[in-house]
Amino acid sequence: MSRFGIRKRLRSALGVGRRPVEIIRYPVTYVLPDGGEQTVQAEEYYSLLMASQALPAPIGTGRRAGGTCPDGGCALCRVEIIDDSGLSVMTDSERESMQALAEGKPHEGRNREPGDQPTPTSRLACYAKIRGPGARVQVLELFDYDSVRGDPDGT
Ligand code: FES
């Protein structure tokens, strides 16, 4: 970096240098557990889970504070895909994560009960990335904000 930021100022004055990154957004429709629908404009490369922050509540992941697990191994962010237009393809680790839950394999050092078998349309919301328009997703569970509010009476 030059002294007093002269290079930066010169580039700015001449209109050269870094250009702002163009953010591309695509419509994604979420069918909510109550049957309602909401279409959000999701940034390209966002996961279905990240983009679901625009819903009344994000997709539930079974975590008390919401959000993703650190290793992509919980498989609790499962959704059913109605239309996979614009979504990334499933990876082996996504498939293995769903299968591990279905078989009840331990996760994060904890035993767990076998979960539901994935269906041909199952995806994990933290794996599936938005790459184009047109995805339509059945959300099985939204995050429950009441789970973090605590008891208002303090009892
Ligand atoms: S949040 Fe754990 S696999 Fe998606």
Instruction: Show me where the domains of the chain are located.
Output: 22-146
- In CATH, which of 3.40.50.720, 4.10.410.60, 3.40.50.2300, 3.10.20.30 is domain 22-146? 3.10.20.30
Distance from Cα 35 to the centre of ligand 1, integer Å = 23
The pLDDT score that the predictor gives to residue 1 is 56
The pLDDT score that the predictor gives to residue 113 is 96
Distance from Cα 60 to the centre of ligand 1, integer Å = 10
Mutate to test the pocket of ligand 1, among 46, 59, 61 (most ligand atoms within 8 A of CB): 61
User: Is the Cβ–Cβ distance between 152 and 76 less than 8 Å?
Assistant: no
Which atom of ligand 1 is the closest one to the Cα of 68? 1
Exposure string of 127-140, with b = 16+ CB inside 10 Å and e = fewer, is: bbbbbeeebbbebb
pLDDT by residue, tens only, the chain of 155 residues: 567 788 888 787 787 777 778 999 999 999 999 999 999 999 999 999 999 999 999 999 988 777 899 999 999 999 999 999 999 999 999 999 999 999 999 999 999 999 999 999 999 999 999 999 999 999 999 998 887 777 767 65
